[in-house]
Amino acid sequence: MAGLTFRYHTNRHYYLFAISGGNRARLALHLPLEPKLRVHGWKELADADFPYDTKRYYSLKVAADGPRIRAYIDGKLILEASDSDLLKGKAGVISNGPARFEDFHVLTSDDKAREIANNIRKRDAELARLRNENRKPKLWKKFDTPVFGAGRNVRFGDLDGDAIVDMRSRNREEFPIADSGWPHRESPPVGVDEMPAGDTHRPYEFENGDSIAFLNLSGDKNRHEILVKDRYRHFWIYNNKLELI
């Protein structure tokens, strides 16, 4: 699919107007919570048959006024819906495959444009005030790290038990560049040389790396508990007061 995103709140919560599958025009809301792991949640608002030619450009337009949403292709009204889940946000182009875009414009009334500009000025002034309240960093020490840094990371920890934090980096020879590309793999934690004996590969859809998830463990209809997981085998669950459960 390729098209427009509007009233964009986050990359997990936005409206979409796109042409999709070679024969469809689609208006939908991307929901912020996944119904299953790595499964996108959508609220379909409207769709219509629209066979299109990938060798030409189409002009897509969305007119959003309160909950009313109208979607046009080449000046013709194609889809219309009413939804009030998101009433403001950013706008942009979106695709999940190779696509080409030409001009992109966002238009609003003069009054709304002045309101947006005023809000931006207030935000920038507040940001500048907060920055000025912070203490400025001061250079303490410099040292060279020749032929180091291929992994673009460094780790801090007490490696020798003297209660002083040490710094660990890795050189280019530790993980040389191979056919698989740049060596950007994770450095193992200190003391972990290999995975536990008997560990076998698990299907991708059951694996989850560093992550935070919101859960319902209390029986409430809302998700009040917080799960924090590292990329190995450990996880922690907290309540909504950040108390470890």
CATH pick for 2-95 out of 1.10.150.20, 2.60.120.430, 3.30.300.30, 2.60.120.560: 2.60.120.560
Over residues 198-219, mean pLDDT:
70
Over residues 204-215, mean pLDDT:
73
Confidence category of residue 108, pLDDT binned at 50, 70, 90: very high
Range list for CATH 2.60.120.560 in the chain:
2-95
What are the structure tokens assigned to 128, written together?
């500048």
C-beta separation of 160 from 193 below 8 A: no
> In angstroms, what is the C-alpha Rg of the chain?
25
In the chain, % of residues over pLDDT 70: 81
Give tens-digit pLDDT for 153-196: 677 888 788 888 888 776 655 445 444 444 444 554 444 444 44
Q: Report d(CA 115, CA 152) in Å as an integer.
A: 43
Residue 9 phi/psi, 5° resolution?
A: -100, -55
Torsion of CA 32, 35, 41, 46, to 10 degrees: -120
Mean pLDDT for the chain? 84
Element (H, E) at 2: strand 2-10
Q: Report d(CA 78, CA 60) in Å as an integer.
A: 10
